[in-house]
Every structure is written in structure tokens, then in C-alpha cells.
Amino acid sequence: LEEQYRQSQKMESVGRLAGGVAHDFNNMLSVILGAAELSRRKLEEGEPIDAYLEVITNAAKRSSEITRQLLAFSRKEVVSPRPLDLNQLIRESNKILARLISEDINLSFTPDPGLWLVSIDPSQVDQILMNLAVNARDAMPNGGRLSIETRNLRLTGDCSHVHPDAHPGDYVQLTVSDTGQGMDKATVEHIFEPFFTTKELGKGTGLGLATVYGIVTQNRGFINVYSEPGQGTVFRINLPRLADQADGASGQEQAAPALSG
Ligand code: ADP
């Protein structure tokens, strides 16, 4: 719990800081970009210095992209949760996801046809899917399988073995798994921290999973991660079932070991 508290404090201060800095920083970047592009126009084609200016331009563009992500992370977006069928949303996102990953990654979706509804802002689910898909893609540079699954989950009794944040009740479980490079235990411990990244400079911001974590906890859900170096990674996201929908419908009782969360 203390760890969770520290995590959310950290997220909050990071958010405030980021929001303040990113805006000014972005203005300076457009000055750099503009000046570099003007200089390039003044040069004759093929002058050696043009290559340096191109490096400046590309780095500034990449920096703009990072500040854009920072702003998105820090912004307290107004969310409007509504009853949502995750299966339907995933089907609608499928094309975008397929375009996001490379051709030698096989994308599959296995929906539970009797899936319960959840209450969440659809754009938040999109963000979860995008971030997990991008990470899966980066973990599978030589191709592999990206599988998305949904199912109902009913937790009863003491469920602290499932996750410290898990309470008895009905959940809709979204599983996103890949056959990529996986992670060792030390890495898994840090993945939800803002700015934690193992990707090379300029490739990752370390904000993807911090965003996912924020969305899941905001919606009173919990997330488990199972990963094995060389084997792949499984993210299991559990969102509470839409409250007034509960009837006697059957869910699977389950007790998977919680590795992290
Ligand atoms: P970023 O993708 O910008 O690095 P994230 O917060 O999305 O930031 O991820 C943090 C780190 O978690 C990644 O740098 C990577 O080391 C690890 N990671 C996340 N998803 C996966 C995955 N599917 N397979 C292997 N490693 C992963």
C-alpha cells in the first residue's frame, strides 16, 4: 500500500511538473525547428552541412513527439465513463492495432461471447490497447504473436493472492499477451513507474505503462503481469463489472498467482 501511495504521489508531481514544462519546451522546439528548416532552405543541394541540419530537425521533431506524450500524460482529461462492451470496442480498434504492429506479428482476438459490461471511458480503453500493443511490437522485432482475450471473472472470499487491490466481486478481464523477449523480475518491478524505460534513447518515454496503470486504478481495477525472459509477456487487466448489471450469471472463479501489479 505504501508503495502504491508513493507511486501515485510520484505520478501526481510528475504530472504537474510535466504540464508546466512541456508547453514552454514545445515553443522553444518550434523555434529550433523553424530556424533549422530556414537554414536548410538557404543551402545549395548536397552541401555537407545540410546533413547536420537534418539531424537537428529530426531530433527536434522527435522531442516534440515526447512533449506531446508528456502533455497527454499530465493532462487531467475529463473522462466520461459509460457502459461498455469491451468486445465491441476491441473489434472496432482492430484495424488500428493491426496497422500499429508490423506485418510479421500475428494478431488474434478471442472474445468471451457472454462478456459482462464495464463502466469506463472508451478512449481510455483505446489508450490501454495502444500502449500495450506498441510495447508488444517492440518486444517482437522478429515477429511473433499478439493475442487479446476477454473473459468474465468472479472473485470470492479472500482474493489477496490474486492481487493486493482485488476485492470479491465481478470483473471483466482483458488479457494482452505477446511471444516477445519478455522481462526479468528486476525489470517487471519498475515498469509502471513514470519514465522507466529500457528502450534506447529517443525510442521510449517510459510513460506508456504508467498511463495504463493510472487508467486501471482510476477505474478501480487491477493489473497483473507475468513475464519470462525469452518467453513473452502477459498483461491481465481486470475492470469491475458495471455495477447495476450484476445478476447470477456465471463467471470463472480463478486464482492465478500475482507476480506483480
Ligand atoms: P516505453 O515503452 O516508452 O519504454 P512503457 O512504460 O510503456 O514505456 O514500458 C516500460 C518498459 O517496460 C519498457 O521499456 C520495457 O522494458 C518494458 N516492457 C513493457 N512492455 C513490455 C513487453 N510487452 N515485453 C517486454 N518488455 C516490456
pLDDT digits (tens, 9 = 90+) for 82-133: 999 999 999 999 988 998 898 899 999 999 999 999 999 998 999 899 999 9
For residue 107, the surrounding DSSP H or E stretch is strand 105-110
**Closest to 96 (Cα-Cα) out of 137, 139, 126:** 126
**Closest to 56 (Cα-Cα) out of 41, 80, 69, 40:** 40
Check pocket membership of 187 for ligand 1, CB cut-off 6 A: yes
Residue 251 has pLDDT above 70, yes or no: no
Residue 174 CA, ligand 1 centroid: distance in Å: 18
Closest atom of ligand 1 relative to the 203 alpha carbon: 3
Closest atom of ligand 1 relative to the 198 alpha carbon: 14
Q: Which residue puts its alpha carbon closest to atom 23 of ligand 1?
A: 136
| 103 Cβ contact list (under 8 Å, min separation 6) | none
Instruction: Name residue, grid cell 488500428.
Output: 96
**Closest to 221 (Cα-Cα) out of 161, 261, 194:** 261
Residue 247 has pLDDT above 60, yes or no: no
**Closest to 13 (Cα-Cα) out of 194, 177, 231:** 194
Check pocket membership of 210 for ligand 1, CB cut-off 6 A: yes
- pLDDT bin (cut points 50, 70, 90) of residue 8 is low
Determine the number of helices (DSSP H) and then strands (DSSP E) in the chain.
6, 8
If you ran DSSP here, which 8-state letter would residue 199 be given?
Answer: S
Q: Which residue puts its alpha carbon closest to atom 12 of ligand 1?
A: 191
- Which residues are paired to 222 by β-bridges? 238
Q: What is the pTM of this model?
A: 0.77
- Write the CA distances from 213 to 40, 116, 166, 168, 224, integer angstroms: 43, 22, 15, 20, 10
Instruction: Identify the pLDDT of residue 255.
Output: 47
Check pocket membership of 139 for ligand 1, CB cut-off 6 A: yes
Check pocket membership of 181 for ligand 1, CB cut-off 6 A: yes
Distance, CA of 150 to CA of 171 (rounded, Å): 11
Residue 101 CA, ligand 1 centroid: distance in Å: 15
Distance, CA of 240 to CA of 243 (rounded, Å): 8
Q: What is the pLDDT of residues 49-60, one digit of tens each?
A: 998 999 999 999
Check pocket membership of 197 for ligand 1, CB cut-off 6 A: yes
Instruction: Name residue, grid cell 534513447.
Output: 201
Per-residue pLDDT, averaged over 149-178, amounts to 94
Check pocket membership of 211 for ligand 1, CB cut-off 6 A: no
138-149: b (≥16 Cβ within 10 Å) or e: bbbeeebebbbb
Instruction: Identify the pLDDT of residue 154.
Output: 96
240-254: b (≥16 Cβ within 10 Å) or e: bbbeeeeeeeebeee
**Closest to 92 (Cα-Cα) out of 71, 109, 116, 74:** 109
Task: Show the cell assigned to 129.
Answer: 490497447
Check pocket membership of 70 for ligand 1, CB cut-off 6 A: no
Tell me if 237 sits within 8 A of 173, measured CB to CB: yes
Decide: helix, strand or coil at residue 113. coil
